[in-house]
Structure 1
């Protein structure tokens, strides 16, 4: 799964320790094992019900038993019976908590015999009282989207979301990742709709009442949380990998762009199959895009489900680079091996699912787009982990947590992916990928944990890795590393001082140190084993650069006391993305220094667009020397850079100068096919000539997405009023969570300024809904600030009705669970 979150600068309020953290979360005891699950379901759109019949086959795991407990959340259970020779014999059961059902079997069963239970039930997901999490914001399992067709421009869909333990909201099962079962699902739907589920579509039967029954079979075992269904008006684009089906299910509007969105999938399947030495194991691979998804994406076996953000028109995709959907596509694909083929035996060991999927994003980026893209992706993820205030206290393998949903965090994803990247660097590619091959083949269609992963790597490499797993998997935190240098000209000795200053354990760190001297680079492989290490190197002359962690793979918060001159040498001579980024960062606050200027101006022409964009954002154009050197380069970039986001960044930087002489560049950019470039140009014009920007914005109301939409909203929120409100409100309402958060300040300002009270109240309602939905992610504080600001503006306008609505909204946010 890829979690959907928004980036907030709001600090999290420290909470008292939850008593639940003291509970040991081991692998659930196995009394019975799932063997096969057969479902026959139909849907009631009006009631938001699913009527189901289930035949679930089980056997005792080891010890004899005469009882069975199934997870079944919020259902009406009408009949539970054991099936004998094709006949149903009712069984006694208790279902008191509406979460699980205890069934008394007809006899004592042993582990050499199986039995089949029949259940007739009704699933009522919309009546289920469950809570989501920061990663997965709902947990009702089965979702009816626009079931009455009353929401304009929104399709009617049904889809499921099983992770973590929500499949049991739509069919009774043992809802644990340690269980594996084959599956057969028959869905009766309106004949106009398309269906998708796991495995193979084995039959379609047209019924007399205008419905159709589709039957899907998954003959290879997988965990219940990976079951899925989807129903709706989807167009299917048929692709293939070798002789297997690869299909893309999209809304008709986006079907023409299926190849642009998902077309890399067969190439990625081939790359991962060859890299892992295990061919893609499932019958087919389908991807479907749905509305109102409760997270980012989900790796259901052979049928990945994506949120709507991954799809786009050809114009939208011009501005969609690796982290705008493509990384999600390969993340979920890699789960088909790590998560589906071999599944974490418990949520405590989620790292063997999610850390690998996160790591795969870097792996594919390197293969497809080059090392700079991969290293940038790697660095951003590391920063996301390092900047999370409480992440350093959490183990990667986590046997104590308050809620299983809490494990879906920056430790499991971003930190875990970086740990695998370091291990790959330490072992070398051949041993690392041989280890993955051993792990997958040893545990195929079963469950795995970190210890099995360690054993596989040790078998492949012949190295002991207990030290590595103890400090990175079973310990918390990361090294805080200080690096300083001293050159002794008398003895021709370069000394490097390494110091770890974090609380808790001292990390063993194998690393490369590259010394640049006399026109060549010499690599030294060393181990840091203690809190303080001193390294001495005899050289012929003072080196130009000592580059600690020459491979730039260490997961560490680092302070490196190089001089700016050394960073300048590093920018021009060391090869990696992070070498150049560190130099740009060092120059950021030293733009009056010649070396700082030299770095930044050179970085405007860096080979990698991500660093060109970074350099643009770093420039302080109020510095005469920087401005004079950068302006002609920015003007050229604004017109010709081959990356749309870098062009947009250059236009934004030029716009900040508020120079009318650049208006022609901005106006020419308005004809770009890139929404990002158009948006930057419109905003730049707005800084020079607000009324002209308002007029131009009106002309883009019918065709705008992404950066252009944001620019129109920005200009209208800054300069507009009641006439612009309907457009602003509609666009804001339809925005994703991150876009909403980014533009909330100006949206709130306009809501406070409009004349009509109903407009102000619409604004308050939208912001309130965001605050309640994302309260668990720290949104409540800033949302209340914005609503309070609207309230103060409405008081000045004597709009008592809106003031009352604001007060009620603040109370609802504060009271929300």
Structure 2
């Protein structure tokens, strides 16, 4: 989830990315500063790479009995029975991760045990020793007291009148050991069973199936017994307790499994609107993998204060606070991107799990790619290619590193697991891009047969990248080692400068290609075929390929006449940054009749540098055409804005644009043309933006317009921003835009608005936006801003107190130091203490006399 940060949700309709964080798991996880050289410490000679820990045993089953007396007191009691079999040799000590647990006692049937617990790990010593191959069990009694990670408790609060108390867990990457002892690594799996007693009126959700109806343990108490009888890895164990509206979105008489959706009380009527496509997505993924959905149910649960977008806990995905839309707000973009991503993880991440975090792309890249497959089903080929193009753009824009100084997508060079989710060679879009390239390289029939073979061979197992490679090699008969080596195990992508020259005397089209990225012993030239298409009487057709395997390569093709259009890699078969020089007339032809959506988008981008009237005219025509794909229309608007063509944007604004996405692009791009000279066309664009901020039916468009007012610096429109900061919208997007705009406007009036929105009772994802704005505006009245931010260090919500700490760091006021020192002293988690210690050191350095 994800927790890099991000998830490309591009579709044929350009679905809106959800607010906040990446899809899976650990948003806001502080990490130490990255190493400069990476995997080697030159001072000591130490290898700094991270390897997965040895489990030493085969964990088989966990039964966890949990008692929660009061949902408003963040403390629970638990008894864990953990069954395992030593592997390889006799065992005298079992070591488990057990972070900040209060261990009461540890026992083992038929054996004498002692234990020690250092706050991070639990060591259980056996007498006599455990022989290999013989099952053993430990029973651990312990309490959990409001842990900083892994289990988030949201008690009732006067700031949220009527909102019931709730708790949810979040195990990825290695945080479930904050609420139960385990081998907190993805390289072993076990079955799990949770028996949870809570105050009556609350519901309990966990993995698997509810084995019996809930029962009354005593007056006012209810017990729920959940069984996950198919093995999964520890970070996927889930516990959620709360009060919900629930609806099963499975199709009666057709779907094998229940598909319940849990949402906040009062929102049950919106479940079908938001999650109604879930059964269809299951159908697509079963067909593409050759594997029926593997678990007993598929639940989706919307919870308070979730740290990410979604988390694919086995059979029970957790969703963020506002992941429920009304029939009106869903017009601004649906949730299918996130729903399909998390659902794909039930196969890739849960049924098959990366053995160590370096191979996380086998979870996240697959889930991202399977969202593209859902777009293909729902929106056709253009929907699929829009998603692929979005993935390519994300990678090409960031993955510019050279070995050995930056880690590859698959690399042991990390200290914290979350580094593997967030690197420049990002496993979400790069992994998805690699799968698309494999699909093009192998062909649909072989590729999907290979995926089905991979799933069948490795289901209920942990995998590494080579497991996928070898399976695809077995199915295809192709050697793929070089492919995987250059796309998975090295950083960066090729940067290719390409020219085409037509020789009328010989009727030859000559291509010259040069790889411009670093090429040296650590970074040899990439090896790939770059497809070339040209126009023909019957339409565009493949001409051939330019083979690249060195710094410079050439290719020559015979043609009967000079082509009017030359298209480079229209199906995105190579993840490369290709710079192609050709006359404007060819780009115009490619925009109008290119063979694929990416080819046309590429032409629209290139025409941003063209100053001709005909180019602007064609861009405007495509942008205004409701029949054209939204992603192409948005690109055309961006190119017109890049030209500074206020006249074209003013003309477009006079048309009845139905698409919210296109109107949003008109606003967000239109503000960019307003610097400098001011003509009636500029005035028209300005007036459209101002009107949209209050009158557009789309919340997304209103948010874009509000943000544009701040970007443009229109202080005379301050009242619009203040009103927007008090408005309600899906994901709080309009209020968040207003706060960002007030910070950009940099006026004193914005500070009180920001501090008000930073207080408890506002959406947990809005509060950091407000706190960041307050930090920017603090110079207007530091005597008000700094104490208010110091007070927020006491807040229960992690997003709020972390944002307050970072804000105080940016302000650099020594008055914050006593409170930060007190905060650091009170943190039981060394990760939090180290983060706060870093803030203190930086403030002291900034303010040294």
* TM-score of the superposed pair, with normalisation by structure 2: 0.81
* Aligned position for 1:29: 54
* Aligned position for 2:195: 186
CA 1:580–1:153 in structure 2 vs 1: closer, same or farther (change >3 Å)? farther
Residue 237 in structure 1 maps to residue 247 in structure 2 = yes
* Aligned position for 2:524: 505
Match of residue 700, structure 2, among 640, 653, 676: 676
Deviations 1:230-274 (A, max 9, x none): 111221122226121101111114332112222211111111011
Q: Is the CA contact (8 Å cut-off) linking 2:407 and 2:413 kept in structure 1?
A: no
Q: Distance in 2 between matches of 1:399 and 1:654?
A: 45
* Aligned position for 1:436: 451
Note the C-alpha offset of 1:217. 0.5
Match of residue 292, structure 1, among 298, 305, 312: 305
Q: Distance in 2 between matches of 1:752 and 1:256?
A: 46
* Aligned position for 1:406: 419
CA 1:267–1:633 in structure 2 vs 1: closer, same or farther (change >3 Å)? same
Unaligned runs of 5+ in 2: 6-19, 23-31, 675-680, 824-835, 844-849
Q: Distance in 1 between matches of 2:82 and 2:366?
A: 32
Q: Any idea what SS the aligned residue of 1:278 has? A: coil
* Aligned position for 1:454: 469
Residue 474 in structure 1 maps to residue 495 in structure 2 = no
Q: Distance in 2 between matches of 1:745 and 1:226?
A: 33
- Say which is worse superposed, 655-664 or 303-312, in terms of deviation: 655-664
Q: How many residues align?
A: 775
CA 1:761–1:386 in structure 2 vs 1: closer, same or farther (change >3 Å)? farther
Residue 56 in structure 1 maps to residue 72 in structure 2 = no
Match of residue 70, structure 1, among 72, 83, 96: 96
Q: Distance in 2 between matches of 1:76 and 1:651?
A: 55
Q: Is the CA contact (8 Å cut-off) linking 1:613 and 1:649 kept in structure 2?
A: yes
Q: Distance in 2 between matches of 1:694 and 1:739?
A: 20
Q: Distance in 1 between matches of 2:85 and 2:746?
A: 68
Deviations 1:574-630 (A, max 9, x none): 13222122222212232345335433543343701222223223324996xx44444
Q: Is the CA contact (8 Å cut-off) linking 1:297 and 1:307 kept in structure 2?
A: yes
Note the C-alpha offset of 1:748. 5.2
Q: Distance in 2 between matches of 1:768 and 1:478?
A: 45
Q: Any idea what SS the aligned residue of 1:613 has? A: helix
Residue 156 in structure 1 maps to residue 165 in structure 2 = yes
CA 1:369–1:517 in structure 2 vs 1: closer, same or farther (change >3 Å)? closer
Note the C-alpha offset of 1:150. 6.0
CA 1:575–1:175 in structure 2 vs 1: closer, same or farther (change >3 Å)? same
Q: Any idea what SS the aligned residue of 1:354 has? A: helix
* Aligned position for 1:40: 65
Q: Is the CA contact (8 Å cut-off) linking 1:39 and 1:54 kept in structure 2?
A: yes
Residue 465 in structure 1 maps to residue 480 in structure 2 = yes
Q: Distance in 2 between matches of 1:269 and 1:120?
A: 40
CA 1:232–1:774 in structure 2 vs 1: closer, same or farther (change >3 Å)? closer
Q: Is the CA contact (8 Å cut-off) linking 1:315 and 1:674 kept in structure 2?
A: no
Deviations 1:755-798 (A, max 9, x none): x953675478779999x979999x96xx679737xx8xxxxxxx
CA 1:302–1:816 in structure 2 vs 1: closer, same or farther (change >3 Å)? farther
Residue 121 in structure 1 maps to residue 142 in structure 2 = yes
Deviations 1:278-307 (A, max 9, x none): 000000000112222223321110011122
Note the C-alpha offset of 1:38. 0.3
Note the C-alpha offset of 1:13. 8.7
CA 1:494–1:622 in structure 2 vs 1: closer, same or farther (change >3 Å)? closer
* Aligned position for 1:423: 438
Residue 612 in structure 1 maps to residue 628 in structure 2 = no
Matches within 5 A, 1:580-591: 580-591=600-611
Q: Any idea what SS the aligned residue of 1:387 has? A: helix
Note the C-alpha offset of 1:685. 9.3
CA 1:551–1:764 in structure 2 vs 1: closer, same or farther (change >3 Å)? farther
Note the C-alpha offset of 1:45. 5.2
Higher relative contact order (CA 8 A, sep 6+): 2
Residue 278 in structure 1 maps to residue 291 in structure 2 = yes
Q: Distance in 2 between matches of 1:735 and 1:306?
A: 19
* TM-score of the superposed pair, with normalisation by structure 1: 0.84
Unaligned runs of 5+ in 1: 129-139, 792-799
Q: Distance in 2 between matches of 1:382 and 1:476?
A: 15
* Aligned position for 2:500: 485
* Aligned position for 1:334: 344
Q: Any idea what SS the aligned residue of 1:217 has? A: strand
Q: Any idea what SS the aligned residue of 1:310 has? A: coil
Residue 308 in structure 1 maps to residue 321 in structure 2 = yes
- Say which is worse superposed, 99-108 or 168-177, in terms of deviation: 99-108
Q: Is the CA contact (8 Å cut-off) linking 1:344 and 1:448 kept in structure 2?
A: yes
> RMSD in angstroms over aligned alpha carbons?
4.1
Residue 650 in structure 1 maps to residue 666 in structure 2 = yes
Match of residue 357, structure 2, among 347, 366, 372: 347
Deviations 1:702-743 (A, max 9, x none): 544555435654776688988876654444557779877878
Note the C-alpha offset of 1:502. 2.2
* Aligned position for 1:136: none
